[in-house]
Structure 1
Amino acid sequence: MDTRFFVAWIEDAARLVRLQREHLTELDAAIGDADHGTNLDRGFTEVRQAFADQPPDTPAQVLLSAGATLIRRVGGASGPLYGSVFRQMGRSLDDPVTLAGFAAAFEAGVVAVERLGKTAPGDKTMVDALAPASRELARAVRDGVGAREAFERAARAAEEGARATIPLRARKGRASYLGERSIGHEDPGAASSALIVAALAAVA
């Protein structure tokens, strides 16, 4: 997994976010500020511009640049949360990047967002997609499978985790203010996180 792979991952994540922008915003309209898709699309557009302005030289630089840009450019909680995932991954990567190294860095990113958001699986947040994906990556490493299968497993786990937020009551973020009314809606952050993990499988 070289620099080109990481750039391709982020660019495909940007593409998927753009395609699903309206859907993500509709999810957010039900339990949030109705701007998740728009904000995230704008943020990833800025990330792609940052890559064009200053092409990253290493996988770590790809993630650090993406994280810093998202923190600066995305409004609300999404920017700091997603930015923290990518920045912590960038800080944790060894070079050259192996699947085991990627899985460990991904786990570090999930831990970072859990700490920043003071959240855990079951709170109806992006962690409900990211944590299962991380566990599946670690399992794939133990199973000795290749990167493509590992990322496909992680993508399925993230998608299932996002769908599993529908019956949950939100315990964190703006959605938590709705109490019981947050039940029955997919968490937009979990949905967008699943797209980002899906992009991994798409470019592997």
Structure 2
Amino acid sequence: MTVADVSLDRLVDWLTRFRALVTENQGYLTELDSAIGDADHGSNMARGMNAVIDKLGEPQTVDALFKTVGMTLVSSVGGASGPLYGTFFLRIGTTAGAVDSLDGATLSAGLRAGFEGVISRGKAEPGDKTMVDAMGPALDALDASLGSGSDPAAAAAAAFEAAQRGRDATEPLVARKGRASYLGERSAGHLDPGATSTAFLFQALAEALA
């Protein structure tokens, strides 16, 4: 493992930081969701990530770690968030395999596979006002940064900045997927809760790798 590799401890730290962010911002996420959804995104994400951290134990490999994360989220989070985030983490683990660290390329490949799983499961496209609108730009920025020679820490910081821009860009959009789509034009003028929690996901990654 080189200095630039992302260790299992760093990956666990990512998840722990994500749990802290969604717990700290549970009320905010619920407030966003109350405007255009079921008013449960904050509570669902906090409950799911608390269950994840409770179950982690001492993972020995990346695939085992993310299998635990994914299965826990699928089983403990209601609504769309559990299956979508669960699929995201499961695909990361499957792609990474039984290794104990990730370099920039394998981190990118895992995240990209997770993103493709989210798209496949949720059937959302860019511009639909979903978590895809934050995750897609984040991964594009991550890949661009890695492609220019940056280490995973710098690439994760670039991904977080792009995730924030993607999140903010959902505010004027009219939702075309999920519960928010039922509101039609009235869904415009609100940040998407899933895109907002996705920005927290990349904030946590950037902080864990910094």
Same fold, judged at TM 0.5 (above): yes
**Residue of 129, 134, 138 corresponding to 1:133:** 138
| Partner SS, residue 102 of structure 2 | coil
**Residue of 44, 56, 69 corresponding to 2:72:** 69
Name the count of aligned residue pairs. Answer: 202
Q: TM-score, normalised by structure 1?
A: 0.97
Gaps of 5+ in 1: none
Counterparts of 1:93 and 1:139, CA distance in 2: 20
Q: Show the counterpart of 1:172.
A: 177
Residue deviations 1:57-91 (CA, integer Å, cap 9, x gap) = 11222211111100000001100000000000111
1:103 Cα offset (Å): 0.6
Gaps of 5+ in 2: 1-5
Partner letter of residue 180 of structure 1? E
Counterparts of 1:60 and 1:9, CA distance in 2: 15
Counterparts of 2:131 and 2:85, CA distance in 1: 9
Q: TM-score, normalised by structure 2?
A: 0.94
User: Does residue 1:199 correspond to 2:200, yes or no?
Assistant: no
CA RMSD of aligned residues (A): 0.9
> 1:154-193, aligned counterparts within 5 Å?
154-193=159-198
**Residue of 56, 60, 66 corresponding to 2:59:** 56
Runs of 4+ in 1 over 2 A off after TM superposition: none
Instruction: Verify the 8 A CA contact 2:11 2:208 in the aligned structure 1.
Output: no
Counterparts of 1:144 and 1:91, CA distance in 2: 26
Partner letter of residue 172 of structure 2? P
**Residue of 33, 37, 41 corresponding to 1:32:** 37
Counterparts of 1:61 and 1:202, CA distance in 2: 23
Partner letter of residue 69 of structure 1? T
